[in-house]
Structure 1
Amino acid sequence: PGAAPTGAGTWSPRGTVLVTGGTGTLGPHLARWLADQGARDLVLTSRRGADAAGAAELVAELAERGCTVTVAACDVRDRDAVAALLDRLAAEGRTVRSVFHTAAVIELQTIEETSLDAFAKVVHAKTAGAAHLDELLDDDQLDAFVLYSSTAGMWGSGRHAAYVAANAHLNALAEHRRARGAHGTAISWGIWADDMKLGRVDPGQIRRSGLEFMDPRLALTALRQVLDGDEGALAVADVDWDRYHPVFTSSRPTDLFAEVPEVRRITEESTARAAEGGEFTARLRGLPAGEQDRLLLDLVRSEAATVLGHASPEVLSERRAFRDVGFDSLTAVDLRNRLATVTGLTLPSTLVFDYPDPLTLVGHLRELIGGPATETDAPVRAAGATDEPIAIVAMSCRYPGGVTSPEALWDLVEAGADAITGFPADRGWDADALYDPDPDRPGTTYSTQGGFLHDVADFDAGFFGISPREALAMDPQQRLLLETGWEVMERAGIDPATLRSSRTGTFIGASYQDYTAGGAGSEGAEGHLITGTISSVMSGRLAYTFGLEGPAVTLDTACSSSLVALHLACQSLRNGESTLALAGGVSVMATPQAFTGFSRQRAMAPDGRCKAYADGADGMSLAEGVGLVLVERLSDARRNGHPV
């Protein structure tokens, strides 16, 4: 603004220089630089003051450079504390001529994840201190009023909600000061190398986004230029525009960087490449489907390898999921942009997640280009074969007695083994408190024996790309279905990845829905509890994880649930709705409610063993398990070489 003070090129540190956050991450770099610029009276504030780690060493180092240093414990969010500090300095005859506000609290959370208290903590660390300094310092005595801001506050960052708001406020405050004729400078810094050392960010992810870590010495050289130019609100960052600009504009275009020379060049080159992409697509349309697929697969793997920094596309399997080889939201957008440029196609930013492996993505690209359909593109219906035999091509299971395979189940049955045990030890059930021989006593059971899966808590979450927090919030029945779903495909000789985008159906019978009743979950997992415990997600989880696009149904018809699931799967195969189907049931008791409920009805066998048709029959037994079969039309099974 025209009202801003002039005198560019004349700044130099004189009098007392105040640095908030002086013993934090960036403060020490600034203090050393100020000493080198000629500052002789430094006041460094922080909440811990002289007790902060490294404070004594920093004071000694600055003293060797000819500086008088005061390290003061002062929480700049407290106006009274700031006023007391300034009064004390004035009483000592020390006039603050320059102030650098670097104090900050950084929180990596979206606005949805941030509580009001957390939001206030982050914002106040920046804004309250700046506001107090603005009110309490004399504009006429100041040569510089510098606020350390961030590029997050200048153009946003979804994972820094409160921090974005705080820094945007600092930028506005600097402009407000200049509008009233006072010094005011807000520097929106990029990422300093110290952020990497502190583990605040993932260096690989940051670099993939196009931001480079700034060397403190170069950053402070830029600070000198800013102060000499008496600038207002500006950004100082090291940006690889070829990578950053396409990622930043992936969800919506912006003119924010339009005047940056590198961005103008990128825009011009992109326009030229788009024209070339149209020619590439036109050439591709004239080729047979097989040749199209080969060229597109080479393109996808080559560009994916480039994005991930691999020397050769050969390291990327055509069927392995992109997320399994290291793709995240940033690299996914980068790949989308590269493919859009080469092909000239308009592609969504979610491309890599919608078509999660190279072969599936190739099929989608070919469809967009308008190439000839392959034999598998059109649904194949069993012409009138409504009574065609259905083949079971594989089975997987977990049952009491340590049964983990169909073979082990047969061994248990053949041996007549007893799989009934006492209550499991990993569910928090107190057998002593639950047991009472009186069948009428509420809240108790007269039977503490049943058929249990004693290792139901074991689950390799990482194998399925699930975080530990989400896995804890998942009903164990979902976990068991994922494991046995993978196994049943392997036992049929089918690579699970090859079923992605196929018309494979999922039909699951399940009755127990009591996982949350037992206090499942953990702090911060509320969102996962919704998908982790709803019955419909049992079949949906299987379909989503393996990319199955046939019907996905969870049903509860009590004891007949798995049989009805198999019946529906057979119908789906016979009418051509599905080409392959997973069918079965799962049962895990998260709480002992079934025992206490059936005890009130006197339906339980006291020893937990069912003695059907015997003179000694005295009730039923409760047990757990999961069993899946993979079913296919008999003609398809024989044609595909699957075991019948």
Structure 2
Amino acid sequence: MGKVVVAFDPLDEPVPAERRGQVPRMDPQGTYLITGGLGGFGAASAGWLAERGVRHLALVSRRGDRAPEAPAVLTELSDERIAAVLFPKAAGAVVLDQLLAGRDLETFLMYSSGTTVVGNIRQANYVAANLWLEALVRHRRGRGAAGQAIVWGAIGEAGYVARNELTNTLASAGIEPVSLHEAFAAADLLTGSGLEVAGVSRYNWGRMRRLLPALAAPRFSVLFPEHMKEADYTREEILRALAVMSVQDAARAVADALAHLMAEVLHMDHKELDHNRRLDEYGLDSLMIAELLVSVRRRFDIEIPPMELLRSGGTITDISHLVLLRLGLSGDSRAAADDDTTEPASSATRE
């Protein structure tokens, strides 16, 4: 039964298996020190530890009107500005490392930032400071001491992002904040994983790549699909771009995007797909249809029931007209848009 046969060839490489890490047990008699623990994400982390059974917390923080809340462009970063951000993190971490040297610590957990992965020219000092923390963790692990760094993306309910009401701004740029519940659920897993440095974040990489040219660098190439430049435009951007096309051109543009999505499901080159051939002739089964519909929903922000897809005729061309209908763009009575809004459509729907 079925169309898929799974066989294990004795000459194949062994299937890798990873044991799920156990959430470490916190010592209720121990004392846990949190630097920066009197506000924002640091204070929320204290609550997380308390929920895990910790009864003795030492919370310390540096505060004052001299703390540089607003980062400057790289060319505006003086030695003083760099030191003001780099010194507290780096020196504070080194002091803790030296004071606790030789002690059998249960954990030495550092909080780093996702900016160390993608960079941020306006926060070069902040990026450097967090990279220092990650390097210190690796140094500690190299000498057999406890150490781990969690590289956090945007946190949505506490800390700098929430305090400055940046949640919507970051989401529109492709940086989707993580809730405190999600963050600490991930921290539970990561603290038992044995990893030196691990990240927790939610990114819309297609949208971020348009705003951060650094993501086009070769070191990121293995992370993104070939047609990443087509993906992840908002529904409004797609609508504006398709609205200026004729019905035929819009259908062709959507069909090109559908061909890419279908090629991912079938593990084929999109150029090998005939837009007028029924998809079931390619061996599409119910699971593949479900996968395709999920991809269509993510790309166009529309819902298409499976039976409606099957009744449409079953070709890429037929489905493209169904997508246009769901978008409200079928027929000739569509609102025109300015010519300068056409770029998202071409990028979002064709290679």
Report the TM-score, using the length of structure 1 for normalisation. 0.33
CA distance 1:246–1:338, change in 2 (3 Å): farther
Output the CA distance in 1 between the equivalents of 2:346 and 2:163.
Answer: 36
- Determine which of 148, 157, 162 is the counterpart of 2:120: 157
1:254 aligns with 2:267: no
Output the CA distance in 1 between the equivalents of 2:328 and 2:155.
Answer: 29
CA distance 1:19–1:311, change in 2 (3 Å): farther
C-alpha contact 1:127 1:169 (8 A) present in aligned 2: yes
Residue by residue, what CA displacement relative to the aligned partner does 1:527-561 show, whole Å, maximum 9, x if unpaired? xxxxxxxxxxxxxxxxxxxxxxxxxxxxxxxxxxx
- Determine which of 176, 181, 184 is the counterpart of 1:220: 184
1:36 aligns with 2:51: yes
Output the CA distance in 2 between the equivalents of 1:116 and 1:38.
Answer: 43
TM-superposed deviation, 1:11? 2.4
SS at match of 1:123: helix
Going by fraction, where is helix more abundant, 1 or 2? 2
Alignment gaps of 5+ in structure 2: 1-20, 232-243, 255-298, 301-326
Query: Who is 2:147 aligned against?
Result: 184
Amino acid in the other structure paired with 1:243: R
TM-superposed deviation, 1:204? 3.6
- Determine which of 13, 27, 41 is the counterpart of 1:26: 41
Residue by residue, what CA displacement relative to the aligned partner does 1:75-115 show, whole Å, maximum 9, x if unpaired? xxxxxxxxxxxxxxxxxxxxxxxxxxxxx965432211222
Output the CA distance in 1 between the equivalents of 2:192 and 2:185.
Answer: 11
Residue by residue, what CA displacement relative to the aligned partner does 1:586-632 show, whole Å, maximum 9, x if unpaired? xxxxxxxxxxxxxxxxxxxxxxxxxxxxxxxxxxxxxxxxxxxxxxx
Query: Who is 2:163 aligned against?
Result: 198
C-alpha contact 2:155 2:180 (8 A) present in aligned 1: yes
C-alpha contact 2:137 2:196 (8 A) present in aligned 1: yes
SS at match of 1:147: strand
C-alpha contact 1:18 1:44 (8 A) present in aligned 2: yes
Equivalent residue runs for 1:436-475 within 5 Å: none
Equivalent residue runs for 1:288-303 within 5 Å: none
TM-superposed deviation, 1:209? 2.2
SS at match of 1:26: helix
Output the CA distance in 2 between the equivalents of 1:22 and 1:151.
Answer: 20
1:12 aligns with 2:25: yes
SS at match of 1:230: coil
C-alpha contact 2:209 2:216 (8 A) present in aligned 1: no
Amino acid in the other structure paired with 1:214: V
C-alpha contact 1:18 1:43 (8 A) present in aligned 2: yes
CA distance 1:311–1:233, change in 2 (3 Å): farther
C-alpha contact 2:167 2:176 (8 A) present in aligned 1: no
Output the CA distance in 2 between the equivalents of 1:197 and 1:237.
Answer: 16
Residue by residue, what CA displacement relative to the aligned partner does 1:184-211 show, whole Å, maximum 9, x if unpaired? 1111100011333311x64343112211
Amino acid in the other structure paired with 1:148: Y
CA distance 1:255–1:45, change in 2 (3 Å): same
C-alpha contact 1:154 1:168 (8 A) present in aligned 2: no
- Determine which of 122, 132, 137 is the counterpart of 2:95: 132
C-alpha contact 1:152 1:164 (8 A) present in aligned 2: yes
TM-superposed deviation, 1:270? 5.0
Output the CA distance in 1 between the equivalents of 2:98 and 2:339.
Answer: 63
TM-superposed deviation, 1:245? 4.6
C-alpha contact 1:192 1:216 (8 A) present in aligned 2: yes
C-alpha contact 1:214 1:238 (8 A) present in aligned 2: yes
Query: Who is 1:244 aligned against?
Result: 208
Output the CA distance in 1 between the equivalents of 2:52 and 2:45.
Answer: 10
C-alpha contact 2:106 2:146 (8 A) present in aligned 1: yes
TM-superposed deviation, 1:227? 0.9
Q: Relative contact order (alpha carbons < 8 A, sep ≥ 6): 1 or 2 greater? A: 2
CA distance 1:171–1:42, change in 2 (3 Å): same
Amino acid in the other structure paired with 2:24: W
SS at match of 2:192: helix
CA distance 1:105–1:183, change in 2 (3 Å): farther
- Determine which of 319, 323, 339 is the counterpart of 2:346: 339
Output the CA distance in 2 between the equivalents of 1:318 and 1:241.
Answer: 26
Equivalent residue runs for 1:46-195 within 5 Å: 46-47=61-62, 106-193=69-156, 194=158, 195=160
SS at match of 1:170: helix
Amino acid in the other structure paired with 2:87: H
Amino acid in the other structure paired with 1:120: A
Amino acid in the other structure paired with 2:163: L
Residue by residue, what CA displacement relative to the aligned partner does 1:252-284 show, whole Å, maximum 9, x if unpaired? 3333372x5xx3xx33x559x79xxxxxxxxxx
CA distance 1:20–1:36, change in 2 (3 Å): same
CA distance 1:245–1:168, change in 2 (3 Å): same
TM-superposed deviation, 1:233? 1.1
Output the CA distance in 2 between the equivalents of 1:45 and 1:155.
Answer: 30
CA distance 1:107–1:161, change in 2 (3 Å): farther
Identity among equivalent pairs (%): 29
TM-superposed deviation, 1:24? 1.9
Going by fraction, where is strand more abundant, 1 or 2? 1
C-alpha contact 2:23 2:189 (8 A) present in aligned 1: no
SS at match of 1:142: coil
Report the TM-score, using the length of structure 2 for normalisation. 0.57
Residue by residue, what CA displacement relative to the aligned partner does 1:360-415 show, whole Å, maximum 9, x if unpaired? xxxxxxxxxxxxxxxxxxxxxxxxxxxxxxxxxxxxxxxxxxxxxxxxxxxxxxxx
TM-superposed deviation, 1:164? 0.7
Amino acid in the other structure paired with 2:192: D
Query: Who is 1:83 aligned against?
Result: none
C-alpha contact 1:153 1:166 (8 A) present in aligned 2: no
Alignment gaps of 5+ in structure 1: 1-7, 53-103, 275-292, 323-334, 345-644
Which one has the largest radius of gyration? 1
SS at match of 2:150: strand
Output the CA distance in 2 between the equivalents of 1:254 and 1:341.
Answer: 22
Equivalent residue runs for 1:624-639 within 5 Å: none
CA distance 1:343–1:153, change in 2 (3 Å): closer
Query: Who is 1:331 aligned against?
Result: none
